[in-house]
A and B are shown apart, each in its own frame.
Chain A
Amino acid sequence: MPAKENLNRQFNQWIDKFESLFTNSQDIMNLFSLSQRKILRWNPQAAISMGYTREELERLPVEELYPPEELAKLGDTFAILMEKGFSEAKQKIYNSKKELRDIWIRSFVIQYEPEILCLVHTIDITEEKEKERQQLKETRLAALGEASASLAHEINNALQGIQFNLYLLKDEARKALPASGFARLDKIESNLAHIEAVIRNVQNYTHVSESSKAYTFVSSLVDSALQILEGYLDSRQIEVQQELAKNLPPLWINGNQLVQVLLVLIKNAAQAMVNTSSKVLGISSEVVAGELVLRVKDSGCGIPREAHGKLFSSFVTTKRAGVGLGLGLAVAKKLAAVNKVSLSFTSVVGQGTEFSLLFPPSLTASAQALLVLYVDDKESLAESSEEALARHSLLVIKAQTAREALRILSHNRVALLLAGENMYPLSGIDFLREARALHQGPMVLLREEGCGEDEQLQLSQGLEVKVRSYPRSEEAWVKEILRCIKL
């Protein structure tokens, strides 16, 4: 009958179409027998996508493909397929390197008799999933930043209340308390200063949304990161060994972001050493072939070779949810990249891992530039004045605390030292006194209220300091600094 022939021809055409689709598809496809619970055929793309040869893939049992928790779900998928003739799910599957891939899998029943056959169409969505996860992570990070900013504000308010009351209490206690009791009040005060420093660091750390770059020394980055993690490293009995080269040029980077990168590297290093007998964290810097390199090295368990490829791209973590800051190496790599810094590593299982941050020459300040270190806990120097000073080959490095500045001076030579008078906990004068051992050039103390044109302060024998009022305008800043540097 012509009608039947027609139907047969149509059916054969359809089979041909199906065959060509199956063979030529860029997605993974297979023909699955629901009756036998067995994959009958894979398409050529499947072997390519999953990294097997065709023969390997044909022989591979299903249990090798899926992680156990996914295998457990297969029963449900089969039940749905039987009932509805169609199923759709997001699953995880191993490739030949035993890497987990995210897949979107759709199955259609294409034949019921004599056995139930399904066409299974699979799309690898690992990259999309990764992007999604990263976005979620970034959103969470931003939220964390916002939350901690207002948290820091609240804590600072409370700290202020404690300080006022402590001040009043000390005044009253002077008459009433024995010396030992008074000493306890001093201890409370120094503990307060510690909390304050921690909060200041958290504020600096979460203050990443503003992508402000400034000339920063590598030693300052290391200092900030280690200060934040001091307790963390201490409690894990980790010995920190620093070998920072002296007089490295400052770098044009976003310091907050690079500190974040260091935090991730140092925490990872610490975690790699949890179960090792040797717990040495090495931080070193040097210039290699014109590029500044900062290395973070641990004596930990090392990273297995299989994990090397996905270290930066996926959120491979040994941390439990909610533990730590939740910053992965992927974020670290990205933050480094935003600053044109490259992040790489070498690792030997059983010996340890070394991460290297490579700062290209384009980020380093010219060797001819004169450095001005400005230490103050408030920001009085506008960016535009810095730009104007840069035209005179003067680079301004800012430090927010005396401690930070002393650390900078111990590693770097600067031409001029400017310090705000009312810094806390170490005042400007006390700071300059300590700084003299590290800095031989001119020193200037900036005072809130006006002072004489050429006022000098004799702090001690041979320690003279110029006293200036805070310049009121950009122009005045530039003029003042130029004048002081010629002293």
Chain B
Amino acid sequence: MHKTLNGTRILVVDDSDDLRETLAFVLSKAGAEVDTAADGMQAISKAQAATYQMIILDVRMPGLDGHATAERISAASCENEKPIFIALSGEQRGGGEFPFALWLHKPIKPQTLLQSIIAALPGAG
């Protein structure tokens, strides 16, 4: 039985309106329940108000960057409710740093993105 995104609650954080909305649309078409945030602070307050299984963050954002945002959200959430953090980066460098479970480089094919984040979800594969 393959895993799907059906019903998975995902928060998409990206300062580019266009990217954020299209990614949200791609994810929701794949069955996820998606919220969006335009910057780090907005993401933190959304993560406080609701629980997400996964948070996808653009790494380079003005103000609080993706890394700092993920660290703060991770520190503020309970151990058994910690979301899976996925980094979307336009840089060549980087990868694997805490608290990101997955480090994806832009541009990534939507099919590959979906496969990768589905694989990152916990539970039987």
Contact = CB atoms under 8 A, between A and B. Distances in A.
Given A157-B16, A449-B119, A163 B109 contact: yes
A378 B107 contact: no
B115 interface: yes
A153 B60 contact: yes
B125 A449 contact: yes
Given A153-B90, A156-B90, A448-B102, A163 B107 contact: yes
A164 B21 CA distance: 10
B60 to A, nearest CB: 6
A93 B25 CA distance: 69
Interface string A152-190: 111011011111110110010000000000000000000
Closest 7 CB pairs of A and B: A449-B119, A167-B110, A159-B107, A164-B22, A156-B90, A153-B90, A160-B107
Contacts of B109: 163, 167, 424-425
Contacts of A58: none
20 contacts: A154-B90, A156-B107, A157-B106, A161-B18, A163-B109, A165-B22, A167-B109, A167-B110, A167-B111, A203-B91, A203-B92, A378-B105, A379-B93, A379-B95, A379-B96, A422-B112, A422-B115, A422-B116, A425-B109, A449-B119
Interface in B42-98: 60, 88, 90-96
Given A159-B107, A380-B96, A449-B120, A168 B16 contact: no
A431 B99 CA distance: 30
Contact of B23 (A164, A377, A425, A450): A164
Interface of A: 149, 152-154, 156-157, 159-165, 167-168, 171, 192, 196, 200, 203-204, 207, 377-380, 422, 424-425, 427, 447-451
Interface of B: 16, 18-19, 22-23, 25-26, 29, 60, 88, 90-96, 102-112, 115-116, 119-121, 125
Nearest to A427: B112
B22 to A, nearest CB: 4
Contact of A164 (B91, B110, B119, B121): B110
A150 to B, nearest CB: 9
Contacts of A422: 112, 115-116
A207 B92 CA distance: 9
Contacts of B107: 156, 159-160, 162-163, 192, 196
B112 A424 contact: yes
Contact of B103 (A200, A203, A378): A378
Nearest to B92: A203
A425 B109 CA distance: 8
Contacts of B26: 164, 167-168
Given A422-B116, A424-B112, A449-B119, A164 B19 contact: yes
Most buried by B among A171, A192, A379: A379
Given A168-B25, A200-B92, A378-B95, 18 more contacts: A154-B90, A156-B106, A157-B19, A159-B107, A160-B108, A161-B18, A163-B108, A163-B109, A168-B22, A192-B107, A196-B107, A203-B91, A204-B92, A378-B96, A378-B103, A447-B119, A448-B119, A449-B125
A196 B109 CA distance: 11
Nearest to A189: B109
Contacts of A377: 105
Contacts of A207: 92-93
A277 B25 CA distance: 56
A159 B107 CA distance: 6
Nearest to A448: B119
A355 B92 CA distance: 31
Nearest to A152: B90
Contact of B29 (A168, A200, A380): A168
Contacts of A380: 95-96
Contacts of B96: 378-380
Nearest to B22: A164
Contacts of A378: 95-96, 103-105
A161 B125 contact: no
A151 to B, nearest CB: 11
Contacts of A424: 108-109, 112
Contact of B116 (A165, A167, A448, A451): A448
A153 B19 CA distance: 13
A203 B106 CA distance: 13
Contacts of A450: 125
Contacts of A203: 91-92
A165 to B, nearest CB: 6
A165 B96 CA distance: 28
Most buried by A among B94, B112, B120: B112
Contacts of B22: 161, 164-165, 168
Nearest to A206: B92
A204 B93 CA distance: 10
A181 B118 CA distance: 31
Nearest to A210: B93
Nearest to A380: B96
Given A167-B111, A200-B92, A159 B116 contact: no
B33 to A, nearest CB: 18
A450 B119 CA distance: 9
A146 B110 CA distance: 29
